[in-house]
Amino acid sequence: MSELPGDLLYTNDHEWLRRESDGSVTLGITDHATSALGDLVYVELPEVGQDIDAGGEMAVVESVKAASDVYAPVAGSVVAVNEDLSDDPEKINADPYGDGWIVRMKIGDFDESELMSPDAYQQLLDELDD
């Protein structure tokens, strides 16, 4: 298992979140999620401008095996989606924390303590391995 990026926050559902300097957040799924899903073949993205509730469906990722919902860990409004994924969903497998980002959202205030630090998420992964 590769090292987790230290500048991200993580969720129980194996999503990651990065705070950008303009106050928006970038969201994606973790390496653990991509290896559990297998090769991705299709990503259904939200519309730019769409409002999404915390816990609401943000995207659907489909692998050769199955379709999985990706949930927004925080409420916000979509300001950008990764259009490259339409033609090349495997970018998520190849680079889940970089080129494989999924959605950028503008958000209000939120409580970071509801998300996991890299250390806490690593601990969750270690427990899943046992």
Partner 1 sequence: MGSKTPLYDNHVEAGARIVDFGGWDMPLHYGSQKEEHHAVRRNAGVFDVSHMTVVDLSGERVRDFLQYLVANDVAKLKEYGKALYTCMLNPEGGVIDDLIIYFVADTEYRLVVNAATREKDLAWIRKQAEAFSVRVVERAELAMIAVQGPKARELAAPCVAGEYRDSALALKPFNGMFAGDWFVARTGYTGEDGWEIVLPAAEAPGVWDRLLAAGVQPCGLGARDTLRLEAAMNLYGSDMDETISPLEAGLNWTVAWEPTDRDFIGRAAIEKQRESTDRRRFVGLLLEDKGVLRNHQKIVVDGVGEGEITSGGFSPTIGRSIALARVPAGDYDQAQVEVRGKLLNVRIVKTPFVRNGQVRIDV
Smallest separation (angstroms) from partner 1 to the CB of 27 = 20
Smallest separation (angstroms) from partner 1 to the CB of 123 = 22
Check if the beta carbon of residue 125 is closer than 8 Å to that of residue 43: no
Bridge partners of 24?
Answer: 106
Beta strands in 1-130 (DSSP E): 9-10, 15-19, 24-29, 40-44, 51-52, 57-63, 67-71, 76-81, 103-107
Identity of the residue, 59 or 78, whose beta carbon is nearer to partner 1 in the bound complex:
59
Smallest separation (angstroms) from partner 1 to the CB of 41 = 4
* Neighbouring C-beta atoms of residue 92, cutoff 10 Å: 26
Smallest separation (angstroms) from partner 1 to the CB of 28 = 20
Identity of the residue, 17 or 96, whose beta carbon is nearer to partner 1 in the bound complex:
96
- Which positions lie near partner 1, rule CB under 8 A? 38-39, 41-42, 44, 60, 62, 64-67, 86
CA atoms of 119 and 2, how far apart (whole Å): 14
Identity of the residue, 60 or 79, whose beta carbon is nearer to partner 1 in the bound complex:
60
Identity of the residue, 48 or 64, whose beta carbon is nearer to partner 1 in the bound complex:
64
Q: Which two tokens stand for residue 105?
A: 């959202």
